[in-house]
Amino acid sequence: MSSTSSTPDAPASKKAAADKASSHTLLEGRLGYHLEPALLVRALTHRSYAYENGGLPTNERLEFLGDSVLGLVVTDTLYRTHPDLPEGQLAKLRAAVVNSRALAGVSRGLDLGAFIRLGRGEEGTGGRDKASILADTLEAVIGAVYLDQGLDAASALVHRLFDPLIEESSNLGAGLDWKTSLQELTAAEGLGVPEYAVSESGPDHEKTFTAAARVGGVEYGTGTGRSKKEAEQQAAEAAWRSIREASTSQPAG
């Protein structure tokens, strides 16, 4: 009796395993590396999922490791590409690249949130798009690549994902603090001080904020986020790019 009662579950179990393997293959394609399956699963396991499923291993140790690998590669790159910058400026550039908001942006580019194993509570509060969860998971994945493939592979992955940010941070003055960078740019262009109009929608446990960045009464960019701060930063980035593009495209003289 027990064998026949469990039989209907077998196809579903096989399908779930196949779906998981397929999704991992998709992620590995985006990363450019094939990882040991159990290691990749651990890198994608948030503590909320682990606690709800009997205390499985979480990705926190891998996150700790990946944070160090990421910091080393970015620091080494900045040191070599800016031989004349003092320590304080190098630290600011590194902080502009290695922060939760920047890491979350890179994670969204990989659609990493779709692969994270989350508990029901985090799932219900929009955890797949929370900057902190996305940033921590990306660091865990970097840690997994380091363990499985070595430092050269992990370094190559960091360069592929973060070199655009490293290059951009050098041109932003305040780094990737977009609100400060926008204020510096508008001051240099004589446009005035940026202002932000923020609205919110959705239930209290899953609010979405929308911000519009205006300078001199003109709207230059909008952004959305899970917090007011995130929405304003995205709006500031959009406005910065719009104003910078208009400024650089004007003919000289």
Catalytic-residue membership of 139: yes
Which one has a higher pLDDT value, 152 or 181?
152
Model pLDDT for residues 115-160, shown as the tens digit of each residue: 999 999 999 888 898 889 999 999 999 999 999 999 999 999 999 9
pLDDT (tens digit per residue) in 2-54: 444 444 455 555 545 555 667 788 999 999 999 999 999 999 999 999 999 98
Nearest alpha carbon to residue 148 among 32, 21, 22: 32
Q: What CATH number does the domain located at 178-249 have?
A: 3.30.160.20
Domain ranges of the chain: 22-169, 178-249
- Using CA atoms, how far apart are residues 134 and 120, in angstroms rounded to an integer? 17
Question: Which residue in the list 139, 177, 230, 237 is annotated as catalytic?
Answer: 139
Looking at residue 216, what is its pLDDT?
93
Residue 63 known to bind ligand: yes
Give the orientation angle of helix 60-81 with respect to helix 87-97, to 10 degrees.
130
The annotation status of 123 as a binding-site residue, yes or no, is no
Task: Give pLDDT, residue 9.
Answer: 57
Catalytic residue among 19, 28, 52, 67: 67
Percent of residues in the chain assigned helix, strand, coil, to nearest 5: 70, 10, 20
Q: What is the pLDDT of residues 133-144, one digit of tens each?
A: 999 999 999 999
pLDDT for the residue numbered 51: 93
Active site residue 67: yes
Neighbour count for residue 1 (Cβ, 10 Å)? 5
Closest CA to 129 of 157, 98, 101: 101
- The fold adopted by the segment(s) 22-169 is Ribonuclease iii, N-terminal Endonuclease Domain; Chain A (1.10.1520)
